[in-house]
Structure 1
Amino acid sequence: MSKLFSPATLRGLTLRNRTVVAPMCQYSAKDGFANDWHLVHLGRFAIGGFGLVVLEATGVTAEGRISYGDLGLWKDEQIAPLARIVDFLHSQGAAAGIQLAHAGRKASTPVSWHKDLSEAEKSTLGFEHWTPVAPSAVPHTDTNPEFQTPTALDAAGIRNVIDSFAAAAIRANQAGFDTVEIHAAHGYLLNQFLSPLANKRTDEYGGSRENRMRLVLEVTEAVRAVWPADKPLLARLSVTDWHPDGWQIEDSVALARELKARGVDAIDCSSGGFDGAVIKAVAGYQVHLAKAVRDGADIPTMAVGLLGDAHQAETILVDGEADFIALARAALDDPNWAVHANHELGASNYDLWPNPTDRVRERDRSLGLRSFAAN
């Protein structure tokens, strides 16, 4: 058995393999509610053999959504549609995760394919527009009017953020999720507090690295306190801002150590998210970040970012650069990536294919493909 398709255990959760579908915003919800699009979009990854499917950035408050089309978990009524998705993922052998998020100053942005909406269209789509909040009253960029100048959070606002993450985690557990991921990456609120590019505060939440980490750690403590002890807790970090004046790899290593001490079980290692970043995105361009955090903080990591080659993914795990491989765009392109990669890496059986797809095996037998190929 390949490393990629070996089981992995975090606390009381054992994944059938180490393939992960990373969170991907669909901008297709209304008032934060999941719908049939989300069920079909996510369900096909479970059918396709992935070990863990993580739902998109889900707003812990209404104003914490990136757009009016984001999923939400700020009210109890949003639990049931998510539970339907969780149940289906479980029925196909995949674990279910959800990314809890607050967009901060990058909130209330438009959905890119919904332009020049009529009033009727706005009503149908649940269009909303609001003033975002952030660590400081500094916009994400001055060159794009889609990003507003936010309101700086006061002490009560910060307390509300912490409480909202915890409340959303309780709802996620009620929906049956196996894990939650705290989103502290990609220039969203928690990442904004971490990075000196966005955090200009002079109180206990700004200035030194210790102060800038405070909110992320307080959110983690609050979530871990309400999240079941036998369920793993994940955190997604932008390990580097790719900016000389921003958050650096060594900062993430220090933060990962503190997150581990507070009950985080694995770090999802991404990067970037701020204006002015210089990123050369090539295959595997973030793998070294997963290795740096894994080695420096002695914590399991997920590698993510242009990792669609099965043999490369296997090598990353065998070489100890990461513990899990997370795919987003590659999974969109091929929802059956996991079952296909399993064959590429030498699997001779079709056990990862669901029973209703057995005709694939019969096709392969007829055409001499995969395990039926002539030696």
Structure 2
Amino acid sequence: MAQTHTGKLQKILTIFLCFWVAFFEGFDLQAPGIAAKGIAATFGLDQVQMGYVFSLGVFGMLFGAFFGGRIADYLGQKKVLMLSIGIFGVFMSLTAIAPSIEILYAARFFTGLGLGAAMPTMISVVGDEATEANRGKLNSLMYCGLPVGAIFVAGLAILLPEIQWQTLFLIGGLTPLALIPFMAIILKDKPKPVAVAQVSTEAVPGMAQVLFKDQQYKNTFPLWVGFFFTLMINYILISWLPNLLMEQGLQKQQAFMVMLVFQVGAVIGTLALGYLLDRLKLWQMAVIIYSGLFVALSLLFTTTSISMLVLAGVMGGIFSTGGQSILYGISPIFYSGTGKVTGVGSAISLGRLGAMTGPLLTGKILALGLGTTGILMASLPAVVISAVAVTALSRYKSAHK
């Protein structure tokens, strides 16, 4: 009985700790969008250069997710997660005191590198605690930390409109460093099966074997496509939405309010869609998520009515961030054993590539003078492609219930 109690407490503390890691990722993802005007004024940046500020962090996430996941399969999830949070915290703090645009770019890249390595490791940690009956619930409880972190930043911007952008980055960089001692105490690496001693290269399968062998490519490629385009849309909204709304004529506080309800919708979507994931087929989830996202984008980029923009903001949060959380939740089931973090990390890396592409593409579209109509025309096909890719994964998930 005592052992059962201890195991349950361990699971609760692990999910709680991963929630806070996700919280600070949400903080970092939202902070550049809120601070964009201040950063641009401090360094004299144009829209294309701001696109680099948004995208370099995501570029770092791409490498962090890919190589961090691989390293975690060798060194263990606990060590990699602690190191990742240390790198993230130090370089997010450096962002606030960067003396030049070059240092700012480098700080954003290494901040992303730390966050990128943390995410696949964290997802695998939660996946190890989950069963098919509660996978959606545990994942949503962990991942809703991301929109909660973003809400916290948006709330600070609304309550303290004169807050300096440097202060935001110092808060977001120094605070997560306090998590590291708790990780050292609470997290436990999943024990490896006892077997005849083997060299580690034999214990951990090759990357190609994890991703493609034995028709595994039928799962890997659709998962990559779903991640790429879903995160592309999500990061366009997270990075550029406040600026786009202000260019459409909204006041600063109104734009931040729409961004705030977007993140409230993200919390609702993460929890509600996680609940549905345990009860519906994946193709049904795809229909709900991508139909809702299609409508939300159409409203966001075609209306100037405040009430409609608030509704579209909530819907955008529900279906873009909520849809992203579903991809994170299902990704561990397609890979097993010692290559699991490698598989999850590869999918997240492709997502980060999409997340980097989205803000850069948006900056280019705006620089060409195509406005929100151009962004909408680039976004809607991505929604359809994502829906097809996630639907293609439904058969595998149903077979492994």
Q: TM-score, normalised by structure 2?
A: 0.27
The structure where helix makes up a greater share of residues is: 2
Point out which structure has higher relative CO (alpha carbons under 8 A, 6+ apart).
2
The structure where strand makes up a greater share of residues is: 1
